[in-house]
Structures are given as C-alpha cells and as structure tokens.
Amino acid sequence: MVNTRTAAPTSRTDVASKTARRVADAAVSVVAREGFDLLSVRSVAREAGVSGGAVQHHFATRADLLLAAFAQTVESISARLAATELDGKVHEVLHRLCEQALPLDEERRREAIVWVTLSAAAASHPDLAAAHRRGLVAFTDLVADIIDSSHRGGEVPESVDPRAAAAVLVAVVDGLTLQGIVEESTDLDAVLRAALTAVLR
C-alpha cells in the first residue's frame, strides 16, 4: 500500500513532460512508418492518442515536431552509445560502438529511418541541420577520443590521426545506415569490420 504521506504528488510539470515525450515518440513513429511528408499535428495527435491542441501546446509548428522527432532519435542513440562497454581491444570497442547506430534490429531500424529521413530534410531546415551537426560531432568526438587513447597502449600506430580516422568511421556508419535501410542484403557487420581495419592501421 502506498503511504500517502510520503508519496510525492505528480506535478503539472511532470505530466506536461510525459505528454511532451509521448508526442515526440509519436512523431518518431509517424516519420519511421509513413515518412517525412505525412508528419503533421493531426497524424501525431492520432498516433499519440491526444488532441491536436495537446500536440500544439508542446510543439506549436510542424517544424517543432520535426525537431522533436529528431532530438528524440538522437537522444535514444546517444543513450545506447553511453551504455556501450568501452573496455577491450580498440577494434572491438569501436565495433560495438558503431553497431549502436546501425539498423540491426527493429528499434535501431526505426531510428535509422528517422535519422536518414530528417537528415535529408536538414538542408532546408536550419534547426534540423544544427541538431544533425551536434549529433555527428558528439559521435565523432567519442570515436576520436577512443582512438587517441589507443595510441598510448600501442594498439594503433601513432601515424593514425584520431580526428581523421574518426571522421572516416562516422561517415562509413552514416552511409551504412542508409544502405542498411534500402538494401537489407548488405552485410553491415563485414563492411564495418573492413572499415575499422582500414582506418586503424
């Protein structure tokens, strides 16, 4: 039984935050299933099971919904990256890390579709472009730091530039993300391992 004297009441802020997240999740689902063009206040409201007014209370415009869907996707990917085990040989650490962004299961495929779809839209949406850039920079920084640390252990030659190698790996992952969506027969793991071998020697 809940002790009503000590249980914290649910505040309006908590409820609003949960509703905003629910709406953002719905925006992700709409983009992943139906595409960028069909994202609207109405489609998101229907997906979230809330009114159009509730959607607009949190995200006033379609552009806000696009940014919310993208931010939600980046947050989910970032959480997986942060939870990835970073102990071990550098090749395997980077392999585990890069796998988190590839469409290797239903959840990652859903996120990959949103990432690719909204990345393409970023060309005409400055806020999306800025969010896309932040996501890539954070991923590149993480990979570069791991490669830089591996120099000290002698796993990677000093001639390998951490920033350049990281940029190449992130570009490979970005390309494989698209390829994995449109060409499911591609052996993403094999290509990723080949790329790691090529950039770390």
- What pLDDT score does 1 carry? 37
- What pLDDT score does 15 carry? 60
- What pLDDT score does 157 carry? 93
Residues with Cβ < 8 Å from 92, sequence gap 6 or more?
none
* Direct distance between the N- and C-terminal alpha carbons of the chain, in angstroms, rounded to an integer: 61
The tokens describing 85, both together, are: 């085990």
What is the torsional sign of CA 148, 154, 156, 159? Answer: positive
- What pLDDT score does 50 carry? 93
- What pLDDT score does 13 carry? 65
d(CA 179, CA 185) in angstroms, rounded, equals 9
Residue by residue, DSSP assigns 132-179 as HHHHHHHHHHHHHHHHHHHHHHTSS-TTS-HHHHHHHHHHHHHHHHHH
- What pLDDT score does 144 carry? 96
- What pLDDT score does 14 carry? 59
d(CA 99, CA 108) in angstroms, rounded, equals 9
Q: Which fold has domain 12-199?
A: Tetracycline Repressor; domain 2 (1.10.357)
Domain ranges of the chain: 12-199
Exposure string over 21-52, b if 16+ CB within 10 A, otherwise e? ebbbbbbbbbbbeeeeeebbbebbbebbebee
- What pLDDT score does 12 carry? 55
Regions in the chain scoring below 50 on pLDDT: 1-10
- What pLDDT score does 152 carry? 77
The rounded Cα 27 to chain-centroid distance in angstroms is 14
- Which pTM value belongs to this model? 0.83
Which H/E stretch holds residue 58? helix 52-58
DSSP-derived letter for residue 122 is G
- What pLDDT score does 37 carry? 87
The residue with tokens 């060309």 is 123
Strands (E), 35-76: none
Q: What angle do CA 180, 133, 143 make, to 5 degrees?
A: 70
Residues 147-192: tens digit of each pLDDT: 999 887 788 999 999 999 999 999 999 999 999 999 877 899 999 9
Residues written for the chain = 201
